[in-house]
């Protein structure tokens, strides 16, 4: 069953089309990567699923519920931002608790979920620190932890590794793959990095010029690229 479904979705900023007629089904538990060059519409598409951008035309269904106009807080998805978006004046634990407290989750449940996520991400020692006292990699962990405690239907990652150095990027990529195995939750992951896409994805959605060029497994898009653009972008043999 599709967890997230987009049907003939369009989006314009003013007179500029940024998403053109996109249709896509993301299956339950699937890890789908949106891959494409800068400006191809990946982030806008993700933000539309999160409810942070409106949809001009078309339908969006999450877990069977039509939600083009549903408030972001009611969509049961958790977004992890490129710049982490942590509250600087709160501790790590408070950052993780904030979204849950707002929707009335009891304190004891919040504490349990924070402890469990902190164990999973090996960040127990960071819980009482403020974001300014953390490295970039540690901040990224907190951002992921904050998404995990929401127990969302789907995780939406917007270039989560792009601010990390190469070694940390490679390590975090492996950890994200492990996390996906462990949580078995639906994930959509935006990147312009072919290696990240090839190593993480169950399926890759290749975007170019605001529309989908191809959808397929990493092996399919590499060995049977649908266009010259895809072949060039994923480095298929000529």
Q: What is the binding site for ligand ADP (CB under 6 A)? A: 13, 18, 36, 38-44
Task: Pick the closer one to ligand ADP by CB: 41 or 145.
Answer: 41
**CA-CA distance, 153 to 77, in Å (whole number)?**
6
Q: What is the DSSP string of 97-117?
A: HHHHHHTT--HHHHHHHHHHH
CB of 99 to ligand ADP, least distance (A): 24
**CA-CA distance, 161 to 35, in Å (whole number)?**
14
CB of 18 to ligand ADP, least distance (A): 4
Which ranges of 51-105 would DSSP assign to H, the alpha helix?
A: 92-102
CB of 115 to ligand ADP, least distance (A): 35
CB of 184 to ligand ADP, least distance (A): 27
> Token pair of 89, please?
């004046």
**CA-CA distance, 28 to 196, in Å (whole number)?**
21
CB of 204 to ligand ADP, least distance (A): 14
Q: Where are the beta strands (DSSP E) in the chain?
A: 2-13, 16-27, 31-35, 57-62, 65-66, 77-80, 154-158, 186-191, 203-208, 211-216
Task: Pick the closer one to ligand ADP by CB: 4 or 118.
Answer: 4
Helix (H, G, I), strand (E, B) or coil at 135: coil
């Amino acid at each position: 069953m599709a967890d997230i479904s987009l049907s003939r979705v369009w989006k314009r900023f003013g007179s500029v089309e940024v998403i053109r007629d996109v249709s896509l089904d993301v299956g339950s538990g699937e890890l789908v990567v949106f891959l494409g060059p800068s400006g191809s519409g990946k982030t806008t598409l993700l933000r539309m699923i999160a409810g942070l951008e409106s949809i001009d035309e078309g339908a969006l269904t999450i877990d069977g519920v039509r939600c083009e106009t549903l408030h972001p807080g009611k969509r049961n998805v958790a977004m992890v931002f490129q710049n982490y978006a942590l509250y600087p004046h709160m501790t790590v634990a408070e950052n993780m608790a904030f979204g849950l407290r707002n929707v009335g989750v009891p304190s004891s449940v919040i504490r349990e979920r924070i402890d469990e996520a902190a164990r999973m991400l090996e960040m127990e020692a960071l819980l009482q620190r403020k974001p300014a006292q953390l490295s970039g990699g540690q901040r990224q962990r907190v951002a992921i932890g904050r998404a995990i405690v929401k127990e969302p239907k789907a995780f939406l990652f917007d270039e989560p590794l792009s601010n990390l150095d190469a070694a940390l990027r490679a390590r975090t990529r492996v950890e994200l793959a492990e996390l996906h195995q462990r949580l078995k939750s639906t994930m959509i992951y935006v990147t312009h990095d072919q290696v990240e896409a090839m190593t993480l994805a169950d399926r890759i959605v290749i975007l170019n010029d605001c529309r989908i060029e191809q959808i397929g497994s990493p092996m399919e898009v590499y060995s049977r690229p649908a266009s010259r653009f895809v072949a060039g972008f994923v480095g298929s043999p000529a």
